[in-house]
């Protein structure tokens, strides 16, 4: 049969406490507590960690993390990691020490003391430096493209050389004639004597052109000009045109161009005697008309002040004023208004043959006298 469990009385508890105190006193007791430090404690050491101390100082100054970030130029994410002492979100140790120094200086605390507290809380470990968090690693894509292109070019060159060598090695040898065929061909050859003809005379040199004489130079120097020397042709001077063969009135022999404005009248018509270029310029130098005319095509020049006709050869165009021929252009550049008032160039009249003078009959001879009987 089980009995009741008896509880200890208060007198028994006091006896046990006294016995424990005697044991402690006999063994010397625990180490006494160190005396308290003299003076106030620095706020950086008044909390469990440096981050908590900095956060308390910031909140005492009623500053937000964004304000501290704007003043220290340190990212807010880094400030939050410093207050939480989250080393995984902080960059390498030298950058972190710089951020803590700037943070403590902005709050008015001792930066050196804050660094000492950080080194005490986070001792140096044998770890490699980490790159700043959040900074992208920039690489120039052109370098990779250049290296890839160089590798491709070198590989192509090597493969091409290998292919050429393999093709040359596998190519069949050139065909050769049989030795018996070669000997038979050599025996069939007979020695012959090559006869050389008489040497040919030296080639006749080209005729020397007539010396050029500057017009008017001999007269200005008091020399007698050579009248038999041919007159040199000026630049852009074509072959002379026989005016007698030109038509006296305008006859369309191809397409006729005009200004395209029916309100502008035209008195001068230029007809190409051969394929030639025709350019008409206004008074300000702007091109009014430019075209390569074929033989027989014509252009009706409008009555515009200052209109200039520009051709490469004056003998390539015949001028008609009101349908009547005025001959060819007087120059390569001429005003169209002057052509309208130019006199008509008459064709040289054919020289009529001289009338034969009447031939008088010879005088009659007297009859011979009869001989006397």
Query: pLDDT tens digit string along 65-100?
Result: 899 889 889 999 998 998 888 888 889 888 999 999
Bridge partner list, 318: 271, 328
Whether the Cβ atoms of residue 92 and residue 132 lie closer than 8 Å to each other: yes
Residue for token pair 């939050």: 80
Burial class (CB in 10 A: 0-12, 13-18, 19+), 196: exposed
Using DSSP's 3-state secondary structure scheme, residue 71 falls into helix
pLDDT of residue 184: 83
Whether the Cβ atoms of residue 313 and residue 296 lie closer than 8 Å to each other: no
**Domain interval for residue 81:** 43-121
CATH number of the domain enclosing 251: 2.60.40
pLDDT of residue 354: 42
pLDDT of residue 297: 92
Whether the Cβ atoms of residue 106 and residue 54 lie closer than 8 Å to each other: no
CATH number of the domain enclosing 84: 1.10.260.40
From the list 251, 340, 350, the residue with the least C-alpha distance to 304 is 340
Structure tokens at 299: 């252009």
348 belongs to a structural domain: no
Whether the Cβ atoms of residue 348 and residue 325 lie closer than 8 Å to each other: no
65 belongs to a structural domain: yes
Q: What is the Cα–Cα distance from 242 to 256, expressed in whole angstroms?
A: 24
237 belongs to a structural domain: no
50 belongs to a structural domain: yes
Domain boundary among 91, 121, 151: 121
Q: Cβ contacts of residue 249 below 8 Å, gap of 6+? A: 320, 323, 324, 325
CA angle 263, 267, 270 (to 5 degrees): 115
266 belongs to a structural domain: yes
Number of domains in the chain: 2
Q: What are phi and psi of 325, to 5 degrees?
A: -70, 135
pLDDT of residue 359: 44
Structure tokens at 348: 């040289």
51 belongs to a structural domain: yes
Q: How far is CA 326 from the centre of its chain?
A: 54
98 belongs to a structural domain: yes
Q: What is the pTM of this model?
A: 0.33
103 belongs to a structural domain: yes
Q: What is the Cα–Cα distance from 98 to 80, expressed in whole angstroms?
A: 15
Residue for token pair 């002379």: 240
Q: Which residues of the chain have pLDDT under 50?
A: 1-11, 13, 16, 23-24, 29-34, 36-38, 347-359, 370-373
Q: How far is CA 141 from the centre of its chain?
A: 23
Cα radius of gyration rounded to whole Å, the chain: 62
């Amino acid at each position: 049969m089980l009995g009741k469990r008896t509880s200890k009385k208060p007198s028994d508890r006091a006896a046990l406490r006294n016995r424990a105190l005697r044991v402690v006193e006999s063994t010397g007791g625990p180490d006494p507590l160190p005396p308290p430090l003299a003076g106030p404690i620095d706020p950086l050491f008044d909390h469990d960690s440096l981050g908590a101390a900095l956060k308390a100082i910031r909140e005492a100054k009623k500053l937000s993390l964004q304000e501290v970030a704007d003043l220290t130029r340190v990212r807010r994410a880094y400030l939050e990691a410093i207050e939480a002492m989250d080393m995984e979100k902080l960059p390498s140790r030298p950058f972190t020490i710089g951020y803590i120094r700037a943070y403590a200086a902005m709050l008015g605390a001792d930066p050196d003391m804050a660094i000492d507290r950080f080194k005490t809380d986070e001792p140096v470990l044998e770890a490699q430096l980490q790159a700043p968090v959040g900074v992208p690693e920039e690489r120039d894509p052109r370098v990779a493209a250049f290296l890839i292109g160089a590798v491709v070019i070198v590989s192509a060159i090597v493969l091409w050389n290998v292919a050429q060598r393999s093709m040359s090695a596998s190519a069949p040898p050139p065909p050769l004639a049989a030795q018996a065929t070669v000997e038979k061909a050599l025996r069939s050859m007979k020695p012959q004597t090559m006869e050389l003809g008489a040497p040919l005379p030296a080639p006749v040199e080209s005729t020397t052109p007539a010396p050029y004489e500057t017009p008017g130079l001999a007269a200005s120097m008091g020399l007698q000009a050579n009248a038999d020397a041919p007159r040199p042709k000026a630049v852009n001077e074509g072959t002379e045109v026989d005016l007698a063969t030109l038509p006296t009135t305008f006859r369309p022999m191809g397409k006729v161009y005009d200004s395209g404005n029916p309100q502008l009248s035209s008195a001068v018509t230029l007809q190409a005697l051969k394929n030639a270029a025709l350019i008409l310029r206004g008074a300000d130098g702007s091109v009014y008309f430019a075209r390569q005319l074929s033989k027989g095509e014509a252009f009706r020049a409008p009555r515009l002040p200052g209109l200039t006709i520009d051709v490469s050869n004056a003998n390539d165009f015949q001028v008609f004023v009101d349908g009547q021929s005025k001959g060819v252009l007087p120059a390569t550049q001429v005003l169209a208004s002057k052509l309208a008032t130019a006199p008509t160039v008459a064709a040289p009249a054919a020289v009529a043959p001289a009338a034969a003078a009447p031939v008088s009959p010879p005088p009659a001879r007297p009859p011979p006298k009869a001989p006397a009987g």
